[in-house]
């Protein structure tokens, strides 16, 4: 019994063994398949036969995910810790909506919960060489979160004030700017250079101000980029330099360095 549990643990939780790798790849395929099912199901124009097939497929996938979920609980030593972990909750959310749909009917909110399944792919990726890269990016974002907050708040102030100004300028001549929130929405669409075109200024002054917002948006996109980049540059600068010369105790040696560049002493 114990050996079966051990074997399953290796397959489900570990990734180094061939069986574990196979399991991970299978799981990714099933997850992506279940996302495709969610998407296709939402299309009303498809013939009912396809829709029926999607429902059947959804139940099969939910069945497999349910088995996987209970296996994960059974074979782990501390199930409580798994159940309340981030991925434990995501795993539960991956199967709950289908069962809930039986009881309370297929409400719309359940579809979003089903789309969350995509996050499960991260569990598999988590265990590979992507961890380091992801954590470098995450750290860079984390350590620049204050700067980014300040930036986002300034952006918010700009779009609120510019939106109000444009409301006053355009409102009498343009149905698109029918209220301030609508004008602020337009200002966001413009500042971020998305530019749908469903709302666009028609007065000369409005166009002049719009041009001003565009160039502002074009220039200040430099700020978040600068924040993240300088963070990443600093991080990558610090990384190689963790080796210390045993003789002069200076840091900053390259990966491939064999001798201290300051005193010429061999590095370990």
Which residues inside 94-113 make contact with its own copies, applying CB under 8 A?
108-109, 111-112
Does residue 181 bind its own copies (CB under 8 A)?
yes
**Interface residue with its own copies, options 18, 47, 48, 197 (CB under 8 A):** 197
**Interface residue with its own copies, options 33, 90, 93, 137 (CB under 8 A):** 137
Q: Is the Cβ–Cβ distance between 209 and 238 less than 8 Å?
A: no
Please report how close the Cβ of residue 147 comes to its own copies at its closest, in angstroms. 5
Residue labelled with tokens 């299309």 = 43
**Interface residue with its own copies, options 60, 71, 116, 244 (CB under 8 A):** 116
**Interface residue with its own copies, options 25, 56, 142, 257 (CB under 8 A):** 257
Site for its own copies in 51-90 (CB under 8 A): none
Which listed range, 61-69, 70-78, 92-100, 209-217, lies at the site for its own copies (CB under 8 A)? 209-217
Q: Is the Cβ–Cβ distance between 203 and 173 less than 8 Å?
A: yes
Please report how close the Cβ of residue 145 comes to its own copies at its closest, in angstroms. 9
Alpha-carbon distance of 147 to 191, in angstroms, equals 19
Grouping H, G, I as helix, E, B as strand and the rest as coil, residue 45 is coil
Alpha-carbon distance of 69 to 91, in angstroms, equals 7
Alpha-carbon distance of 63 to 69, in angstroms, equals 10
Does residue 207 bind its own copies (CB under 8 A)?
yes
Q: x-or-dash pattern for its own copies, window 214-253, by CB under 8 A?
A: xx-xxx-xxxxxxxxxxxxxxxxx------------xxxx
Contacts of 215 (CB under 8 A, 6+ apart): none
Which listed range, 58-66, 86-94, 96-104, 205-213, lies at the site for its own copies (CB under 8 A)? 205-213
Nearer to its own copies, 4 or 258 (CB): 258
Residue labelled with tokens 């980014």 = 148
Does residue 264 bind its own copies (CB under 8 A)?
yes
Alpha-carbon distance of 11 to 21, in angstroms, equals 8
**Interface residue with its own copies, options 133, 139, 142, 173 (CB under 8 A):** 133
Closest CA to 192 of 166, 168, 158, 169: 158
**Interface residue with its own copies, options 26, 89, 142, 263 (CB under 8 A):** 263
Please report how close the Cβ of residue 23 comes to its own copies at its closest, in angstroms. 20
265 secondary structure, DSSP code:
P
Alpha-carbon distance of 206 to 169, in angstroms, equals 6
Phi, psi of 113 (to 5 degrees): -60, -40
């Amino acid at each position: 019994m114990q050996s079966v549990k051990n074997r399953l643990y290796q397959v489900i939780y570990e990734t180094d063994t061939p069986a574990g790798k196979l399991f991970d790849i299978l799981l990714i395929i099933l997850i992506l398949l279940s996302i495709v099912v969610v998407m296709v199901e939402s299309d009303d124009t498809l013939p009912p036969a396809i829709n029926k097939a999607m429902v059947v497929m959804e139940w099969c996938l939910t069945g497999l995910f349910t088995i996987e979920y209970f296996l994960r609980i059974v074979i782990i030593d501390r199930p409580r810790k798994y159940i309340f972990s981030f991925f434990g909750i995501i795993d539960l959310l991956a199967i709950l909506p289908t069962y809930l749909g039986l009881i309370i009917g297929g409400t719309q909110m359940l579809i979003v919960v089903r789309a969350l399944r995509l996050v499960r792919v991260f569990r598999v990726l988590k265990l590979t060489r992507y961890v380091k890269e992801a954590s470098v990016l995450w750290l860079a974002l984390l350590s620049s979160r204050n700067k980014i907050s300040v930036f986002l708040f300034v952006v918010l102030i700009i779009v609120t004030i510019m939106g109000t100004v444009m409301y006053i300028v355009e409102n009498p001549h343009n149905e698109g700017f029918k209220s301030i929130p609508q004008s602020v929405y337009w200002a966001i669409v413009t500042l971020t250079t998305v530019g749908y075109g469903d709302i666009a200024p028609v007065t000369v002054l409005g166009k002049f101000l719009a041009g001003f917002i565009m160039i502002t948006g074009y220039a200040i996109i430099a700020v978040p980029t600068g924040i993240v980049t300088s963070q990443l540059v600093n991080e990558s600068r610090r990384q190689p330099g963790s080796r210390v010369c045993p003789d002069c105790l200076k840091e900053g040696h390259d990966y491939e360095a064999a001798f201290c560049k300051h005193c010429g002493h061999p590095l370990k």
